[in-house]
Amino acid sequence: MEAARKSAKARLEAMGLPQRRDEYWKYTRPDLLTTTDMAPAALLVTDEAPLFDAIDRLKIVFVDGVFDAQASDDLSLEGLEISQLKDAPDWAQSLYGVLEENGQSPVARPLAALNSAQAQQGIVIRANAKVSKPVSLVYVRKSDTSDAILHHVIRVEEGADLTVLENGPAAARLNTVMEVDVADTGAFHHVRAMGRDHERRAATHIFGRLGHESVFKSFTMTVNGKLTRNEVVLDINGDNAVAHVAGAAMGDGDFLHDDTVFITHDSLNCESRQVFKKVLRNGATGVFQGKILVKEGAQKTDGYQMSQSLLLDDDSQFYGKPELEIYADDVMCSHGSTTGAIDEKAMFYLQSRGVTKIEAQDLLVLAFLDAAVDEIEDAAIADDIRGRLEGWLARRRD
């Protein structure tokens, strides 16, 4: 592991920290993520019940980025091998930093290399079978100056099926890397809710490798937060694999949310889907940088990319760069992007039927976001997420 950290450090030194002039940081200022002079972030006071509370799960708690054994469940569940990063077994040690390194080309991701070089906290999970309940990573924040680095290593073996949940603000500033290696016929589901604290900053990275007939599905809900940069880098190198990445984000005021996705197709007959929806108001900013790369020979690829933003007022902004790079001829790849205000005709329709203006708007916002939430397979988890989106809107009515 020390060797992997050293090599990550060398990578980081070679590429340097992200700069505003970097093409991949064109729309998101990296300063808040890299500055050593970190402003404190106030803690959010809320009486809401914690997310996923009603779901039967294996709970693992980190407080300000540090594992909390007392608050966590026993690290044991049938079909799973689970341990802290510091106790990583050989298989995890040899995977640590590998997928992250693969994901550094052709686009450099310095904050991920920084993570691999420095991370001491995290969890390693190996799923050997269909796991009966989700592993839930709960990120509690108690300090207004915590600067956390978490690095998780996950391996889903052949025929295994694992769901990982993540929620909570984690730290005033957070940098995570999750390396997910899905073996042939394995399935990995991931649902994440970023913390609602207004001033938190986060840079997250998921590096996935998909084997034959494997499934990878990830959904992220983001409401609030000063700066969120979520990068997902997937390498599909088994035939007939399926990869879905989705996100629903709502921002009000000083909010920047950036989804940066890079999906590489390097095998036959695979499917990838990107569905990102953003609702922005009071000067919030949304960014989407999505890419599908279809390598030579990756025939019969079905790649889809959709990025849509609702600007609820004139101060909010959206920046998009939906890219395709295709070197195979027998493929279906498409992308769409729309940006604009809420549909006035739909508003009028609802209002003319007695729905108040604010209710009509909320209804349309929820309907708009639902195409992303729909990507969550588990109905109970999806409902939990929907409830949070509704709650967020309801709180803004007063």
Span from 7-15, 142-150, 189-197, 339-347 in contact with another protein (CB under 8 A): 339-347
89 in contact with another protein (CB under 8 A): no
Looking at residues 22 to 41 of the shown chain, list those that interact with another protein (rule: CB under 8 A).
23
Looking at residues 153 to 182 of the shown chain, list those that interact with another protein (rule: CB under 8 A).
none
348 in contact with another protein (CB under 8 A): no
**Closest-CA residue to 321 (of 138, 107, 15):** 107
382 in contact with another protein (CB under 8 A): no
3-state DSSP helix/strand/coil % of the chain, to nearest 5: 20, 40, 35
The least distance separating another protein from the CB of residue 279, rounded to whole angstroms, comes to 11
Per-position DSSP letters for 244-255, written without gaps between them: EEEEEEEEESS-
The least distance separating another protein from the CB of residue 288, rounded to whole angstroms, comes to 9
316 in contact with another protein (CB under 8 A): yes
335 in contact with another protein (CB under 8 A): yes
The least distance separating another protein from the CB of residue 253, rounded to whole angstroms, comes to 15
47 in contact with another protein (CB under 8 A): no
Looking at residues 226 to 255 of the shown chain, list those that interact with another protein (rule: CB under 8 A).
none
Pick from 333, 346, 366, 382 the residue near another protein by CB under 8 A: 333
Span from 88-96, 147-155, 202-210, 316-324 in contact with another protein (CB under 8 A): 316-324
The least distance separating another protein from the CB of residue 332, rounded to whole angstroms, comes to 7
**Torsion sign (Cα): 193, 146, 72, 157:** positive
Span from 44-52, 169-177, 236-244, 313-321 in contact with another protein (CB under 8 A): 313-321
Between 117 and 292, CB nearer to another protein: 292
The least distance separating another protein from the CB of residue 143, rounded to whole angstroms, comes to 36
Total Cβ atoms within 10 A of residue 83: 14
Are the CB atoms for 212 and 186 separated by under 8 Å? Answer: no
Residues 6+ apart with CB under 8 A from 370: 386
Return the ∠ at Cα 290 (arms to 285 and 292), rounded to 5°: 175
CA gap 355, 364 in Å, rounded: 12
Pick from 159, 299, 351, 355 the residue near another protein by CB under 8 A: 299
**Closest-CA residue to 372 (of 160, 223, 163):** 223
Pick from 139, 219, 255, 318 the residue near another protein by CB under 8 A: 318
311 in contact with another protein (CB under 8 A): yes
The least distance separating another protein from the CB of residue 318, rounded to whole angstroms, comes to 5
Amino acid type, 66: V
| Phi, psi at 371, each rounded to 5° | -60, -30
| Phi, psi at 28, each rounded to 5° | -130, 125
Between 56 and 296, CB nearer to another protein: 296
Span from 108-116, 167-175, 183-191, 294-302 in contact with another protein (CB under 8 A): 294-302
The least distance separating another protein from the CB of residue 124, rounded to whole angstroms, comes to 38
Q: How many residues bind to another protein according to rule CB under 8 A?
A: 35
| Phi, psi at 200, each rounded to 5° | -70, 155
CA gap 300, 270 in Å, rounded: 7
Pick from 334, 349, 367, 380 the residue near another protein by CB under 8 A: 334
Are the CB atoms for 173 and 144 separated by under 8 Å? Answer: no
Pick from 138, 231, 322, 362 the residue near another protein by CB under 8 A: 322
Crossing angle of helices 379-395 and 357-373, in 10° steps, is 150
CA distances from 323 to 220, 249, 307, 318, 347 (A): 21, 21, 11, 16, 33
CA gap 191, 224 in Å, rounded: 17
Interface contacts to another protein, rule CB under 8 A: 23, 296-297, 299, 309, 311-314, 316-341
